[in-house]
Amino acid sequence: MLHRLINSALLVALLLILIEGNSFAQTQANATVNASATILAALTITKNTDVVFGNVGATTPGPVYLDPKGLAASNYIGTSAAVGTFTIAAASTQSIHLGWPATVQLTAGANHLTYTLKVNGFTASTQASSTTLSLTGGYCDVTTSATGGYFLWVGGDIGTLTTQATGAYTGTANFTVEYN
């Protein structure tokens, strides 16, 4: 009789332990997510000058072209034409991610012109040394200089004009830069 009681008590105790252990294993689970951020020197992009095609005839023999490398190779632009310029300041020799629209609509009232951007870049402010930057998926990666600088020159074309409506056409192109 005593032996049976002992066995029963042990069995109850074992069952209690098993049930308790089981419920703990299934009622709460934990995981840890790690978070990180690397802070580099402040990243800035400053527009120095706007893109100006100047006064252009309503009909041109060829594409109206503003060469970002300088006015020497430009065609059918006005004498007041100017290449747009940006200065980027960032961490030294750091890969950065540039973005700009391939085209922008210039408008004058109800009239439109399609401006196709051409952008050159270089690690120093020497326009003549700049090279063409190409967009891949709307972005272009470049590396800043040892002092963290990078420079952009913005030209492009508005196509060959054929009795284009006269007017002052304007538009805006948004340039972005971020760290890679």
Partner 1 sequence: MSRNIFTSVLFVTMLVVLVSGNSLAQTQANANLPASATVLTALTIHKNTDVKFGNVGATTLGIVYLDPTGAASNYIGTGAQVGVITIAGATGQDIRITWPSYIDLSHGLNHLNYVLQVNGYTANTPTSSTPLTSGGSTATTDATSGNYFLFIGGQLGGSTTTAAALSSQATDTYSGSAPFTVEYN
* Closer residue to partner 1 in complex, CB, 126/172: 172
Q: Does 29 bind partner 1 (CB under 8 A)?
A: yes
* Closer residue to partner 1 in complex, CB, 28/80: 28
The dihedrals phi and psi of 43, each to the nearest 5 degrees, come to -105, 120
* Closer residue to partner 1 in complex, CB, 7/129: 7
CB contact burial 107-133 (16+ within 10 A = b; e otherwise): eeeeeebebebbbbbbbeeebeebeeb
Instruction: Please give the Cα distance from 93 to 10 (Å, whole number).
Output: 72
Q: Does 43 bind partner 1 (CB under 8 A)?
A: yes
Q: Does 6 bind partner 1 (CB under 8 A)?
A: yes
Q: Does 41 bind partner 1 (CB under 8 A)?
A: yes
Q: Does 91 bind partner 1 (CB under 8 A)?
A: yes
CB 82 within 8 A of CB 52: yes
Q: Does 5 bind partner 1 (CB under 8 A)?
A: yes
68-71 LR contacts (CB < 8 Å, sep 24+): 68/118, 68/119, 68/120, 68/127, 68/130, 68/132, 68/153, 68/154, 68/155, 68/156, 69/120, 69/127, 69/128, 69/130, 69/153, 69/155, 70/127, 70/128
* Closer residue to partner 1 in complex, CB, 47/129: 47
Q: Does 33 bind partner 1 (CB under 8 A)?
A: yes
CB of 53 to partner 1, least distance (A): 30
Q: Does 35 bind partner 1 (CB under 8 A)?
A: yes
* Closer residue to partner 1 in complex, CB, 11/165: 11
Tell me, what DSSP letter sits at residue 170?
A: B
In the region spanning residues 118 to 137, those forming contacts with partner 1, defined by CB under 8 A, are none
Q: Does 146 bind partner 1 (CB under 8 A)?
A: no
| Chain residues that interact with partner 1, rule: CB under 8 A | 2, 5-6, 9-10, 19, 22-23, 25-44, 90-91, 94, 97, 178-180
